[in-house]
Protein backbone atom coordinates (compact mmCIF):
# COMPACT_ATOMS: atom_id res chain seq x y z
CA UNK A 1 0.00 0.00 0.00
CA UNK A 2 1.48 3.35 -1.07
CA UNK A 3 -1.11 5.82 0.21
CA UNK A 4 -0.50 5.47 3.93
CA UNK A 5 -0.24 8.65 6.04
CA UNK A 6 3.39 9.74 6.32
CA UNK A 7 3.62 8.83 10.02
CA UNK A 8 2.54 5.21 9.41
CA UNK A 9 5.21 2.60 8.89
CA UNK A 10 2.64 -0.11 8.35
CA UNK A 11 -1.14 -0.39 8.18
CA UNK A 12 -4.14 -1.88 6.41
CA UNK A 13 -7.45 -0.36 5.46
CA UNK A 14 -10.08 -1.26 8.05
CA UNK A 15 -12.06 -4.23 6.71
CA UNK A 16 -15.70 -5.13 7.15
CA UNK A 17 -14.66 -8.78 7.06
CA UNK A 18 -11.21 -8.80 8.71
CA UNK A 19 -9.09 -11.93 8.40
CA UNK A 20 -7.89 -12.34 11.96
CA UNK A 21 -7.33 -15.09 14.50
CA UNK A 22 -10.36 -16.22 16.50
CA UNK A 23 -8.72 -14.79 19.62
CA UNK A 24 -8.54 -11.28 18.15
CA UNK A 25 -12.04 -10.18 19.13
CA UNK A 26 -10.99 -6.61 19.90
CA UNK A 27 -9.19 -6.15 16.60
CA UNK A 28 -12.11 -7.72 14.77
CA UNK A 29 -14.84 -5.51 16.20
CA UNK A 30 -12.64 -2.41 15.89
CA UNK A 31 -12.01 -3.16 12.22
CA UNK A 32 -15.69 -3.75 11.48
CA UNK A 33 -16.75 -0.52 13.20
CA UNK A 34 -14.01 1.62 11.67
CA UNK A 35 -14.69 0.25 8.18
CA UNK A 36 -18.28 1.53 8.38
CA UNK A 37 -17.41 5.16 9.05
CA UNK A 38 -16.10 6.00 5.55
CA UNK A 39 -19.12 4.24 4.01
CA UNK A 40 -21.85 5.72 6.22
CA UNK A 41 -21.64 9.53 6.54
CA UNK A 42 -24.70 9.74 8.86
CA UNK A 43 -23.08 7.35 11.35
CA UNK A 44 -19.71 9.07 11.01
CA UNK A 45 -21.36 12.42 11.60
CA UNK A 46 -23.19 11.21 14.71
CA UNK A 47 -20.09 9.85 16.41
CA UNK A 48 -17.46 12.33 15.20
CA UNK A 49 -19.64 15.26 16.25
CA UNK A 50 -18.81 14.27 19.85
CA UNK A 51 -15.11 14.93 19.25
CA UNK A 52 -15.76 18.33 17.69
CA UNK A 53 -15.83 17.36 14.01
CA UNK A 54 -18.50 18.05 11.43
CA UNK A 55 -18.96 15.62 8.58
CA UNK A 56 -20.03 17.26 5.34
CA UNK A 57 -20.18 16.38 1.66
CA UNK A 58 -16.48 17.14 1.19
CA UNK A 59 -15.35 15.21 4.25
CA UNK A 60 -13.04 12.29 3.55
CA UNK A 61 -12.64 9.60 6.19
CA UNK A 62 -9.91 6.98 6.15
CA UNK A 63 -9.66 4.15 8.65
CA UNK A 64 -6.71 1.82 9.23
CA UNK A 65 -5.97 -1.20 11.39
CA UNK A 66 -2.86 -3.28 12.16
CA UNK A 67 -0.90 -0.06 12.32
CA UNK A 68 2.74 0.54 13.19
CA UNK A 69 3.82 4.14 13.64
CA UNK A 70 7.22 5.44 12.63
CA UNK A 71 7.89 7.04 16.01
CA UNK A 72 7.61 5.09 19.25
CA UNK A 73 6.95 1.62 17.82
CA UNK A 74 10.06 0.23 19.50
CA UNK A 75 8.04 -0.09 22.73
CA UNK A 76 5.67 -2.56 21.10
CA UNK A 77 2.89 0.03 20.99
CA UNK A 78 0.20 -1.30 18.66
CA UNK A 79 -3.08 0.68 18.79
CA UNK A 80 -6.06 -1.10 17.26
CA UNK A 81 -6.66 1.53 14.63
CA UNK A 82 -6.25 4.98 13.16
CA UNK A 83 -8.86 7.46 11.92
CA UNK A 84 -7.96 10.25 9.51
CA UNK A 85 -10.65 12.85 8.77
CA UNK A 86 -10.03 15.46 6.10
CA UNK A 87 -12.40 18.42 5.86
CA UNK A 88 -11.25 20.78 3.16
CA UNK A 89 -7.91 22.24 4.17
CA UNK A 90 -7.84 20.63 7.63
CA UNK A 91 -6.93 17.08 8.55
CA UNK A 92 -7.63 15.53 11.95
CA UNK A 93 -6.38 12.14 13.09
CA UNK A 94 -6.82 9.84 16.08
CA UNK A 95 -5.40 6.57 17.34
CA UNK A 96 -8.10 4.08 18.34
CA UNK A 97 -7.84 1.57 21.17
CA UNK A 98 -10.70 -0.89 21.70
CA UNK A 99 -11.55 -3.23 24.56
CA UNK A 100 -14.37 -5.75 24.66
CA UNK A 101 -16.07 -8.00 27.21
CA UNK A 102 -14.75 -7.59 30.75
CA UNK A 103 -11.50 -6.00 29.57
CA UNK A 104 -11.02 -2.50 30.88
CA UNK A 105 -8.80 0.27 29.63
CA UNK A 106 -5.30 0.31 31.07
CA UNK A 107 -4.29 3.83 32.21
CA UNK A 108 -0.62 3.14 31.46
CA UNK A 109 -1.46 1.97 27.94
CA UNK A 110 -3.69 4.97 27.27
CA UNK A 111 -0.94 7.27 28.51
CA UNK A 112 1.60 5.59 26.21
CA UNK A 113 -0.75 6.03 23.27
CA UNK A 114 -1.18 9.72 24.09
CA UNK A 115 2.60 10.05 24.06
CA UNK A 116 2.72 8.06 20.82
CA UNK A 117 0.10 10.32 19.22
CA UNK A 118 2.02 13.44 20.19
CA UNK A 119 5.31 12.02 18.89
CA UNK A 120 3.73 11.32 15.50
CA UNK A 121 1.72 14.54 15.17
CA UNK A 122 -1.62 12.77 15.68
CA UNK A 123 -4.37 14.91 17.20
CA UNK A 124 -6.13 12.54 19.59
CA UNK A 125 -6.67 9.11 21.09
CA UNK A 126 -10.13 7.51 21.03
CA UNK A 127 -10.87 4.62 23.37
CA UNK A 128 -13.83 2.27 22.99
CA UNK A 129 -14.95 -0.21 25.63
CA UNK A 130 -17.94 -1.34 27.69
CA UNK A 131 -17.11 1.33 30.26
CA UNK A 132 -19.61 4.21 30.46
CA UNK A 133 -18.87 7.93 30.62
CA UNK A 134 -21.11 10.98 30.69
CA UNK A 135 -19.59 12.63 27.61
CA UNK A 136 -17.07 11.69 24.95
CA UNK A 137 -14.47 14.06 26.37
CA UNK A 138 -14.62 12.23 29.71
CA UNK A 139 -12.41 9.19 30.11
CA UNK A 140 -12.79 6.09 32.31
CA UNK A 141 -9.07 6.35 33.10
CA UNK A 142 -7.01 9.06 34.73
CA UNK A 143 -3.95 10.27 32.85
CA UNK A 144 -1.51 13.14 33.33
CA UNK A 145 -3.17 16.42 32.36
CA UNK A 146 0.05 17.59 30.75
CA UNK A 147 -0.48 14.96 28.04
CA UNK A 148 -3.85 16.51 27.17
CA UNK A 149 -2.52 19.99 26.42
CA UNK A 150 -1.93 19.22 22.75
CA UNK A 151 -3.55 15.80 22.37
CA UNK A 152 -7.26 15.04 22.82
CA UNK A 153 -8.61 12.01 24.67
CA UNK A 154 -12.11 10.78 23.87
CA UNK A 155 -14.15 7.72 24.80
CA UNK A 156 -17.16 5.90 23.34
CA UNK A 157 -18.89 2.91 24.90
CA UNK A 158 -20.11 0.10 22.65
CA UNK A 159 -23.65 0.50 23.97
CA UNK A 160 -23.56 4.22 23.17
CA UNK A 161 -22.44 3.42 19.64
CA UNK A 162 -25.27 0.91 19.32
CA UNK A 163 -27.68 3.61 20.51
CA UNK A 164 -26.50 5.98 17.80
CA UNK A 165 -27.14 3.26 15.22
CA UNK A 166 -30.64 2.64 16.55
CA UNK A 167 -31.44 6.35 16.51
CA UNK A 168 -30.37 6.57 12.87
CA UNK A 169 -32.43 3.49 12.01
CA UNK A 170 -35.58 4.82 13.68
CA UNK A 171 -35.20 8.33 12.28
CA UNK A 172 -34.91 6.93 8.77
CA UNK A 173 -32.20 9.45 7.93
CA UNK A 174 -30.26 6.88 5.90
CA UNK A 175 -31.97 6.55 2.53
CA UNK A 176 -29.27 4.56 0.77
CA UNK A 177 -30.31 0.89 0.63
CA UNK A 178 -26.78 -0.49 1.06
CA UNK A 179 -26.07 1.77 4.02
CA UNK A 180 -29.34 0.76 5.66
CA UNK A 181 -28.40 -2.89 5.24
CA UNK A 182 -24.96 -2.31 6.78
CA UNK A 183 -26.49 -0.42 9.70
CA UNK A 184 -28.94 -3.22 10.52
CA UNK A 185 -26.26 -5.88 10.19
CA UNK A 186 -23.92 -3.96 12.50
CA UNK A 187 -26.68 -3.64 15.09
CA UNK A 188 -27.40 -7.35 14.83
CA UNK A 189 -23.68 -8.03 15.29
CA UNK A 190 -23.50 -5.84 18.39
CA UNK A 191 -26.48 -7.63 19.93
CA UNK A 192 -24.90 -11.07 19.73
CA UNK A 193 -23.44 -12.27 23.02
CA UNK A 194 -20.37 -13.59 21.22
CA UNK A 195 -19.16 -10.09 20.33
CA UNK A 196 -18.43 -9.18 23.96
CA UNK A 197 -20.61 -6.08 23.98
CA UNK A 198 -22.08 -5.85 27.46
CA UNK A 199 -25.47 -4.30 28.10
CA UNK A 200 -25.92 -1.70 30.78
CA UNK A 201 -25.98 -3.55 34.11
CA UNK A 202 -24.82 -1.16 36.82
CA UNK A 203 -24.31 2.50 37.51
CA UNK A 204 -20.91 4.11 37.78
CA UNK A 205 -18.89 4.70 40.94
CA UNK A 206 -20.38 8.18 41.55
CA UNK A 207 -24.00 6.98 41.46
CA UNK A 208 -23.99 6.31 45.22
CA UNK A 209 -22.95 9.92 45.92
CA UNK A 210 -25.69 11.21 43.63
CA UNK A 211 -28.40 9.10 45.31
CA UNK A 212 -27.18 10.14 48.75
CA UNK A 213 -27.33 13.81 47.79
CA UNK A 214 -30.90 13.47 46.47
CA UNK A 215 -31.96 11.54 49.57
CA UNK A 216 -30.61 14.33 51.79
CA UNK A 217 -32.34 17.04 49.71
CA UNK A 218 -28.96 18.36 48.66
CA UNK A 219 -28.44 20.91 45.90
CA UNK A 220 -27.36 19.33 42.64
CA UNK A 221 -25.04 21.25 40.36
CA UNK A 222 -25.31 20.28 36.71
CA UNK A 223 -21.53 20.45 36.36
CA UNK A 224 -20.87 18.19 39.35
CA UNK A 225 -19.02 14.98 38.30
CA UNK A 226 -21.64 12.69 39.87
CA UNK A 227 -24.48 14.51 38.08
CA UNK A 228 -22.78 14.46 34.68
CA UNK A 229 -21.91 10.79 35.08
CA UNK A 230 -25.43 9.81 36.18
CA UNK A 231 -27.15 11.75 33.40
CA UNK A 232 -24.71 10.36 30.85
CA UNK A 233 -25.43 6.80 31.93
CA UNK A 234 -29.19 7.26 31.85
CA UNK A 235 -29.32 9.31 28.65
CA UNK A 236 -29.53 6.35 26.24
CA UNK A 237 -32.65 5.12 28.01
CA UNK A 238 -34.44 8.45 27.82
CA UNK A 239 -35.05 7.85 24.10
CA UNK A 240 -37.07 4.77 24.96
CA UNK A 241 -35.76 2.81 22.03
CA UNK A 242 -32.58 1.01 22.97
CA UNK A 243 -34.28 -2.31 22.20
CA UNK A 244 -31.03 -4.26 21.89
CA UNK A 245 -32.88 -7.52 22.62
CA UNK A 246 -35.16 -7.08 19.64
CA UNK A 247 -34.47 -8.26 16.14
CA UNK A 248 -32.84 -5.64 13.95
Q: What is the pLDDT of residue 13?
A: 95
Q: What is the pLDDT of residue 117?
A: 97
Q: What is the pLDDT of residue 229?
A: 61
Q: Are 135 and 20 in contact (CB under 8 A)?
A: no
CA distance 94 to 63: 10
Q: Per-residue pLDDT for 200 more than 90?
A: no
Closest residue by Cα to residue 103 from 197, 220, 15, 2: 197
Write the DSSP symbol of residue 40. Answer: -
pLDDT (tens digit per residue) in 44-82: 999 999 999 999 999 999 999 999 999 987 777 899 999
- Helices and strands counted in the chain (H then E): 7, 6
Percentage of residues in the chain having pLDDT higher than 90: 63
Average pLDDT over residues 141-159: 95
Mapped onto helix, strand or coil, the DSSP state of residue 88 is coil
Kindly report the pTM of this predicted structure.
0.81
Secondary structure element (H or E) that encloses residue 179, with its range: helix 177-191
Q: Are 126 and 95 in contact (CB under 8 A)?
A: yes
Amino acid sequence: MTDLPEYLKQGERARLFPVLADTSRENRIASIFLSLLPQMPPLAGAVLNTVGLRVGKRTKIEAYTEIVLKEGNEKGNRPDGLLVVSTGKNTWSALVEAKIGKSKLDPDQVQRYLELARANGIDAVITISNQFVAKADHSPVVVSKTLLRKTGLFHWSWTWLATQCEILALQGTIEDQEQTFLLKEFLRFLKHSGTGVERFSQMGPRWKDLVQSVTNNGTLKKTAPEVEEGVGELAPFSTGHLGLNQEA
